[in-house]
Amino acid sequence: MQRQQQEFCYKINILEGVLLIRQHQILLYRLYILTILTWWINSIVYANEQKTNSYITYKQLKLTNGQKLHIGKISIEHTKIKIAAPEPHTKLETTENIIKTTPAIMAINGSFFNTDGRTSVSLKTNSKWIKSPSSIKRGVVGWYKDKRNKSQFVFDRLYRNKNKKIQSVYSKDKWWEKAKWLIGGYPLLIKDHKILETSSERLASKFLNNQYARTAICKSKKYLFFVVAEGGDAIVRKWLYSSPGMSIKQLAVFLRDKLHCSDALNLDGGHSSALIYNKKRMNTPIFFLLPPRKIANTIIAY
């Protein structure tokens, strides 16, 4: 009798074990189905977003030497471009936080800035000068609507002459007075398909020649491009990051020869570099263990 009871208990334990395994299998199956459904729904939503925002597209490139680039291609005719910044202009914020309340589909980090939060280069937002050009001939890009209501983007070098008046290196037209938006950078990389010298912008050779993460804006006949090159210099690559950055010359050659840009400007780079697409950061920051750097302003497309 006792033996029969033991056998019965043993069978009950086996049955309970089988049922428990079965329950786990059912749970895993349900989780699998839920994962598939979530992926399917997200795919539909993302496909709709891609279709809706077909005038603003993104792609990632990895060159043979390991350089990784993030490229936004924006139709000039069918989109709006503006500069977004925290208020007041002495406040710093991450690119993601700056664009939270904007209609941005794509954004890149903007101008160089000082530790007190003020931009260190020319900046004009919504027709108001935040910082006007200095006596040094430095690169800018500005844009405005012409008489036909078409967006015109001008890449130039602006400076203040001996009479303290703003003057252009390349244009006789005072286009900056018409510009609603204008942002400075350095150096101006390309003008009318020609890669430019950089001596007039008085920049350190290390900044020009070392490979760093870079951010740039450039244009072709119909498109504007937001470009971020990932990476860092030799020390950063040795200890923190494997992808090489770009020198200024490498960046200019890529923008002209691969993207066919006629004009281009280098913006703030390094840990500031950021390209945001559909509210998601596409590039990996150099110091990926640290939070994204707070910056002064961004350029957004929508």
Asked whether residue 41 falls in the same domain as residue 82, the answer is no
Range of the domain at 144: 56-301
Mean pLDDT: which of 2-11, 19-28, 30-39, 126-135 is highest?
126-135
CA distances (Å), origin 6, targets 11, 15, 20: 9, 14, 21
15 lies in the same domain as 153: no
Q: What is the pLDDT of residues 151-180, one digit of tens each?
A: 999 999 999 999 999 999 999 999 999 999
Question: Residues 68, 193: one domain?
Answer: yes
Are 166 and 203 members of one domain?
yes
- Per-residue burial over 227-241, b if 16 or more Cβ lie within 10 Å, else e, is bbbbbbbeebbeeeb
**Structural domains of the chain, count:** 2
DSSP 179-229: -SEEEEES-EEEETTEEPP-GGG---HHHHHS-B-EEEEEE-SSEEEEEEE
Task: Indicate whether 21 and 123 sit together in one domain.
Answer: no
Buried-exposed string 7-39: b where 16+ CB fall within 10 A, e elsewhere: eeeeeeeeeeeeeeeeeeeeeeeeeeeeeeeee
Convert the pLDDT of each residue in 248-278 to its tens digit: 999 999 999 999 999 999 999 999 999 999 9
C-alpha to C-alpha distances, 248 to 9, 35, 148, nearest whole angstrom: 78, 44, 36
pLDDT at 39 over 60: no
Same-domain check for residues 108 and 253:
yes
The per-residue pLDDT for 21 is 58
**pLDDT at residue 226 in the model:** 98
Contacts of 191 (CB under 8 A, 6+ apart): 155, 156, 170, 263
Joined tokens for residue 110:
């903007």
pLDDT of residue 24: 54
Length of the chain: 302
**Same domain? 227 vs 213:** yes
- This prediction has a pTM of 0.81
